[in-house]
Amino acid sequence: MRQLYINGTWTASVSGEGIDVVNPATEEIIDRVPAGAPGDVDAAASAARAAFRSWSGTAAEERGKLLATASDLLRQRADDIARVIATDMGAPYGFALKVQTLLPATVLAGYAHLAESHPRERRVGNSLILKEPVGVVGAITPWNYPLHQIVCKVAPALAAGCTVVLKPSEVAPLAAYALAEIFHEIGLPPGVFNLVSGAGPVVGEAIASHPAVDMVSFTGSTLAGRRVAALASESVKKVALELGGKSANLILPGADLAAAVKVGVANAFVNSGQTCSALSRMIVHRDDYDQAVRLAVEAARKYTVGDPFDEGTRLGPLVSARQRDRVVRYINRGQEEGARLVAGGTETDHERGFYIEPTVFAGVEPGMVIEQEEIFGPVLSIIPFMSVDQAVTIADGTPYGLAGAVWGETEQAAIAVARRLRTGQVSINGGAFNPQAPFGGYKQSGIGRELGEEGLEEYFETKALQL
Ligand code: NAD
C-alpha cells in the first residue's frame, strides 16, 4: 500500500485502511492507496498552516523557480506518468501523454512565470492595494483529467504563496502520487504541499470543514460541489467550484457543416466523453439536420474502441464499472424517451473492461433527460432548431453553463451569437483550447475560474492600505 504525503514525509494513514485502484481496461487491481481519515486531514492541514507563514514570505522568484523545476521533471517523466494515467483511468496512451500529462507541465510552467510577473500591487487615489495569498488551500479533484485538474489548482495556489492539502479522486489517484514525488524531489519545504488520498465523504468533507483551511477549491460533480460549499460556509471559507456541464455545439446556417460536425463529434467523444466541457449537444438548423446526422454517424463509426495501449485506439474504456453502468442507464433512458439511436448503444464486443461504443442520438428534443443531464460518456445528442433565438434558448436551456461552440458563416456571425450565450468558454469556428484563457462556469457549472491570470487571482486576498 502507498502512503500519504504529510509535512514532507511519506506517512501511513491513521485509518490503516486502503482503497484498491482498478485498471478499467482489464478490471484488474493494480495498486492500493490509503483510505485517509479525518485525523490525517488534521495533520496535513496543521502542517500546511505551519508552513504558510514562511512559504508566503518567500520571494516570488523562488516559488517560480521551484514550479519551473517541477514542470521540467514532469516533462522528463511524461512517458511514465502517461502510462500511469492510461492504466488507472483508461485514456488512450497518446492522449494520456499529450493532454493528460504534457498539458499540466505547460500549465505548471505558465504559473512559474506568473508567480513573478503577475502584478500584486496598485495605487488607487490615496490607497495602496495589495494582493496576498489566501492561506491554506484544500484542493479536491476528480478522476477524468487526474493530473491536469490537480495542477490547475496546486500550481496557482503555490505560485500565489498558499500552502495546499490535496485530496485526489480515489478512482484514479496515481498521477497525484507521481506529482507528490516530484514536489518532494525538488525540495518543496515540508508542509507546503500535502497529499491525503481517500473517499470524498470522509477526506473531502474533513477538508471542507477543517478550521485551518482558508479556501476550498473543488472540481467534480455539481452534487458533491454543493455539499462542499455547504460545509465550507460554516466557517466562511472562500470557495471555488468547477462543476459539471452540458455544453452545446451550435451550428448556424451557412457554417462549414462538415468541419463543424467532425470537430463537434471529436470533442464530444474525447476522453471517452468524460470531459466536463464536452460538447455533448449538437444544435443544428432544421435544413441541415439530416445531413448533420449522417455526418455524425459516419464520424462515430470511424472510432476504434479498445485497449488504451493499442496504437489505433481512439476511445478507451470508461473509468469504472459504476461510470459505465451510469452511461448505459442514460442510453436506455434516451430510447425510452423516444430519441432515435443512430450509432452505438449499450452492446459491446469487449468481454472485459468498461467499454461503451460511441453513441449518437437523433430526434432529441429540448427537455429530454438525455438533453438536460450530464452523461459523462461518449453519447452525443443532436437537436434541431428553426431560428437563432430558439437555438440560443436551447443552448442555454440547462442548469449548466461551462463551455460551448458556435459555427457561423463568418467569425463575426459566430461571435455575435457566442456573446448571447450564458457560458464560460465558447469556441468560435473550431478555435482551439487555450491553457492561458480562464476556464470555468456560469450558473450551476461553478464559481470562479481556473487557468491564466484569473486562475491565479482566485488564490489572493485583497488588502487596502490608506496612505
Ligand atoms: P465527484 O463529484 O464524484 O468527485 C470529485 C471529487 O470530490 C473526488 O475527489 C471525490 O472523492 C470528492 N467528493 C465526492 N463526494 C464528496 C463530498 N461529499 N465531500 C467532499 N468531496 C467529495 O466527481 P467525479 O465523478 O470524480 O468527476 C466527474 C464530475 O466532475 C463531472 O460532473 C464533471 O463534469 C466534473 N468535472 C468538472 C470540471 C470543471 O472544470 N468544471 C472538470 C472535470 C470534471
pLDDT tens per residue, the chain (467 residues)?
999 999 999 999 999 999 999 999 999 999 999 999 999 999 999 999 999 999 999 999 999 999 999 999 999 999 999 999 999 999 999 999 999 999 999 999 999 999 999 999 999 999 999 999 999 999 999 999 999 999 999 999 999 999 999 999 999 999 999 999 999 999 999 999 999 999 999 999 999 999 999 999 999 999 999 999 999 999 999 999 999 999 999 999 999 999 999 999 999 999 999 999 999 999 999 999 999 999 999 999 999 999 999 999 999 999 999 999 999 999 999 999 999 999 999 988 899 999 999 999 999 999 999 999 999 999 999 999 999 999 999 999 999 999 999 999 999 999 999 999 999 999 999 999 999 999 999 999 999 999 999 999 999 999 999 99
pLDDT at 133: 98
Ligand 1 near 173 CB (within 6 A): no
Query: Is 196:168 a contact under the CB 8 Å cutoff?
Result: no
Å from CA of 300 to ligand 1 middle: 28
pLDDT at 275: 98
181: which 3 cell numbers? Answer: 514525488
Ligand 1 near 277 CB (within 6 A): no
Active site residue 337: no
Å from CA of 149 to ligand 1 middle: 10
Give me the count of residues in the chain: 467
CA contacts within 13 A on the Cβ side of 16: 0
Residue 418, SS3 per DSSP: helix
Active site residue 152: no
pLDDT at 466: 98
pLDDT at 53: 97
Closest C-alpha residue for ligand 1 atom 13: 200
State how far the Cα of 322 lies from the Cα of 354, in Å rounded to an integer.
Answer: 9
Ligand 1 near 227 CB (within 6 A): yes
pLDDT at 237: 98
Ligand 1 near 374 CB (within 6 A): yes
193: which 3 cell numbers? Answer: 504541499
Å from CA of 35 to ligand 1 middle: 17
State how far the Cα of 207 lies from the Cα of 122, in Å rounded to an integer.
Answer: 33
Ligand 1 atom with minimal separation from the 223 CA: 2
Ligand 1 near 247 CB (within 6 A): no
pLDDT at 23: 98
pLDDT at 440: 98
Q: From the candidates 170, 205, 242, 450, give the one annotated as an active-site residue.
A: 242
Residue where the block lists cell 470533442: 267
Of the residues 41, 88, 107, 144, which should be mutated to test ligand 1's pocket, given the most ligand atoms within 8 Å of the CB? 144
Closest C-alpha residue for ligand 1 atom 14: 200
Closest C-alpha residue for ligand 1 atom 40: 242
257: which 3 cell numbers? Answer: 457543416
pLDDT at 106: 98
State how far the Cα of 133 lies from the Cα of 120, in Å rounded to an integer.
Answer: 10
- Of the candidates 173, 237, 231, the residue with the CA atom closest to the CA atom of residue 202: 231
Residue 460, SS3 per DSSP: strand
Ligand 1 near 198 CB (within 6 A): no
State how far the Cα of 414 lies from the Cα of 251, in Å rounded to an integer.
Answer: 9
Ligand 1 near 36 CB (within 6 A): no
Å from CA of 402 to ligand 1 middle: 15
Task: Write 228-234 long-range contacts (CB < 8 A, 24+).
Answer: 228/140, 228/204, 229/447, 231/205, 232/208, 234/209
pLDDT at 20: 98
Residue 465, SS3 per DSSP: strand
Neighbours of 257 (CB within 10 A): 17
Query: Is 351:25 a contact under the CB 8 Å cutoff?
Result: no
Ligand 1 near 400 CB (within 6 A): no
Å from CA of 406 to ligand 1 middle: 27
Closest C-alpha residue for ligand 1 atom 32: 221
Q: What is the pTM of this model?
A: 0.98
Of the residues 148, 169, 170, 247, which should be mutated to test ligand 1's pocket, given the most ligand atoms within 8 Å of the CB? 169
Ligand 1 near 167 CB (within 6 A): yes
CA contacts within 13 A on the Cβ side of 373: 12
Closest C-alpha residue for ligand 1 atom 36: 220
